[in-house]
C-alpha cells in the first residue's frame, strides 16, 4: 500500500476483516509487488466503503418510508372516521 497516512487502509474498522488482512499482507510484500497491487486493493477497499455508504443510505430511506407510511395510514384512518362521523350527523339532520 502507499505510505500515505491518509491511505484507505488506515481505518480498518470500516472495511471487512479479510480486506484488512489483504492490505496488511500487501504491506509485507516486496515493494515491486506491493506497488503493482496497492492501487487494485485500494480500489476494492474504496468500492466496499462506497457500497456500505449506499446500503446505509438505502436502509435509512426505507426506514423513513416506513415511518411516513405509518403516518399516512394513521391519517387515512382518522380521515375515514371523520367522514363517517359527518355522514352520521348529516343523516341525523336529514331525519
Query: What's the rounded Cα separation, in Å, for the pair 49 and 55?
Result: 10
Distance in angstroms (rounded) separating the CA atoms of residues 95 and 93: 5
Q: What's the domain range around 56?
A: 8-94
Cell triple for 41: 486493493
HSE-up of residue 51 (Cα within 13 Å, Cβ side): 8
pLDDT score at 39: 93
Q: What is the mean pLDDT of residues 35-60?
A: 94
Residue 2 lies in a domain: no
Residue 37 within a domain: yes
Looking at the structure of the chain, the number of domains it has is 1
Indicate the SS3 state at residue 65: helix
Residue 20 counted as domain residue:
yes
Decide if 36 is inside a domain: yes
Does residue 42 sit within a domain? yes
What gap in Å lies between CA 81 and CA 23, rounded to an integer?
Answer: 62
Q: What percent of the chain has pLDDT over 70?
A: 86
Do the domain assignments include residue 34? yes
Confirm whether 62 is domain-assigned: yes
Task: Assign 5 a pLDDT band (cuts: 50, 70, 90).
Answer: very low
pLDDT mean over 14-32 = 89
Contacts for 68 with CB less than 8 Å, ≥ 6 apart? none
Question: Within a domain: residue 55?
Answer: yes
Q: What is the pTM of this model?
A: 0.64
Confidence of residue 92 (pLDDT cuts 50, 70, 90): very high
Asked if residue 82 has pLDDT above 70, the reply is yes
Amino acid at each position: 500500500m502507499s505510505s500515505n497516512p491518509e491511505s484507505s487502509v488506515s481505518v480498518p474498522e470500516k472495511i471487512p476483516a479479510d480486506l484488512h488482512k489483504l492490505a496488511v499482507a500487501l504491506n509485507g510484500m516486496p515493494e515491486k509487488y506491493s506497488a503493482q497491487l496497492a492501487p487494485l486493493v485500494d480500489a476494492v477497499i474504496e468500492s466496499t466503503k462506497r457500497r456500505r455508504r449506499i446500503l446505509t443510505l438505502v436502509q435509512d430511506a426505507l426506514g423513513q418510508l416506513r415511518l411516513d407510511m405509518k403516518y399516512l395510514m394513521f391519517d387515512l384512518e382518522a380521515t375515514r372516521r371523520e367522514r363517517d362521523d359527518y355522514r352520521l350527523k348529516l343523516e341525523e339532520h336529514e331525519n
